[in-house]
Amino acid sequence: MSGITVATIFAPDSLNEILLPITLAAIPAFAIGLIEDITKRVSIKTRLAFSFLSGLLAWYLTDISLIHLNIPFIDELLNKWLFLSVLFTAFAVSGISNSINIIDGSNGLASGTVTIFLNTIGQIALFYNDTALAQLCFVIMAIIIGFMIMNFPFGKIFLGDGGSYLLGFLLAWCAILLPMRNPEVSSFTSLLICSYPIIEVMVSVHRRWKRNQSPGHPDRLHLHSLMNSRLIRKLFPYYSKTLHNAFVSPFIWSYIAVSQALAMLSQRTEFLILSLLICALLYKIIYTRIISFGWKLPAINKKLYLNKKQLQLKKKLI
């Protein structure tokens, strides 16, 4: 948040036109997450409400809301009824903000994922000559990378709810700006770019519904949690738990690279919807494979780490 504030102070006017409003609008989402980090007493409903408030504030400050989704009947409603457009926009912001919080379970995962998403949005914006939006994405990326230097892989600092809700809001608004500022870009492009955390939320809600649990009930059955316990620990049994945690991120980044590549290939709605289905199917295959069968893969560098463990034991005995 300090980085965003400093960037706002020194940004050129062309960038500040969009950077200043979203920095101000981000305050409710960031603040409620920070309060949760400090007190551990803020419910998920309250955090969602404040993220929703950030979405409303962003619309108020920019006069931008989702008015076309490339779905004929829905587009007519959003164009005709402003309050529906604003409410849907705030709902989308709140949903994406919460989805980034949900995937924040491994060192570098949430921040690295948002960085990859912003890079894709920025590259598409550049292709359509939207320099200001591209600059916005790249400035936020630079700030996140500064954080990641301390976060990945050793976890010297964490996002917390304040950081994850802040990044979620910033990502959500950039994803909204892309099709709203560039009519040639389909809204399904933004949905495809952000598909991984959205799919994670939908799967989590469905899983908890089947178990008669609250949608906000925490568990260790997210993709990143299962990948850690059933894949990474088998692949790298002689590494520390901290590195087990961190090694999850590159595997998931490889998965989301598929959606990013597809999002940059075409703006045809049919292609984007098919791509969404492909990404959802790929998620299901990976998830099912891990949770049902595990991965029978050999450990890497076993001899090296056995020798290291023996050396440490010898030093202790001495």
Is 311 a domain residue?
no
pLDDT at 72: 85
Is 317 a domain residue?
no
The answer to whether residues 56 and 90 touch, using CB atoms and an 8 Å cutoff, is yes
pLDDT at 159: 94
**Cα–Cα distance between 173 and 51 in angstroms, integer?**
12
pLDDT at 310: 55
Provide φ and ψ at 73, rounded to 5°: -65, -40
Q: How many domains does the chain have?
A: 1
**Cα–Cα distance between 164 and 103 in angstroms, integer?**
9
Largest CA distance in the chain: 79
pTM higher than the cut 0.85: yes
CA dihedral 106, 109, 110, 113 (to 10 degrees): -170
pLDDT at 293: 58
pLDDT at 316: 62
pLDDT at 304: 47
**DSSP string for residues in 96-129:** HHHHHHHT--STTHHHHHHHHHHHHHHHHHHHTT
**Cα–Cα distance between 5 and 19 in angstroms, integer?**
9
Question: At residue 295, does pLDDT exceed 50?
Answer: no
Question: At residue 301, does pLDDT exceed 90?
Answer: no
Is 316 a domain residue?
no
Q: How do residues 65-106 score in pLDDT, each as one tens digit?
A: 999 898 888 889 999 999 999 999 999 999 999 999 999 999
What number is the average pLDDT over the span 130-148?
A: 96
* Structural domain harbouring 91: 2-300
Is 132 a domain residue?
yes
User: How big is the CA angle at 260 (ends 256 and 266), to the nearest 5 degrees?
Assistant: 145
pLDDT at 290: 87
Closest of 208, 5, 171, 8 to residue 92, by C-alpha:
171
Q: What is the mean pLDDT of the chain?
A: 90
What number is the average pLDDT over the span 137-142?
A: 97
Q: How do residues 150-201 score in pLDDT, each as one tens digit?
A: 999 999 999 999 999 999 999 999 999 999 999 999 999 999 999 999 999 9
Is 310 a domain residue?
no
Please report which confidence band the pLDDT of residue 215 belongs to, taking 50, 70 and 90 as the band edges: confident
Is 312 a domain residue?
no
Is 285 a domain residue?
yes
Q: How do residues 217-241 score in pLDDT, each as one tens digit?
A: 777 889 999 999 888 888 888 888 9
The answer to whether residues 260 and 266 touch, using CB atoms and an 8 Å cutoff, is no
Is 283 a domain residue?
yes
What is the distance, to the nearest Å, from the Cα of residue 35 to the centroid of all Cα atoms in its chain?
A: 21
Residues 6+ apart with CB under 8 A from 76: none
Closest of 228, 236, 180, 170 to residue 67, by C-alpha:
180
Q: Which residue has the higher pLDDT, 146 or 210?
A: 146
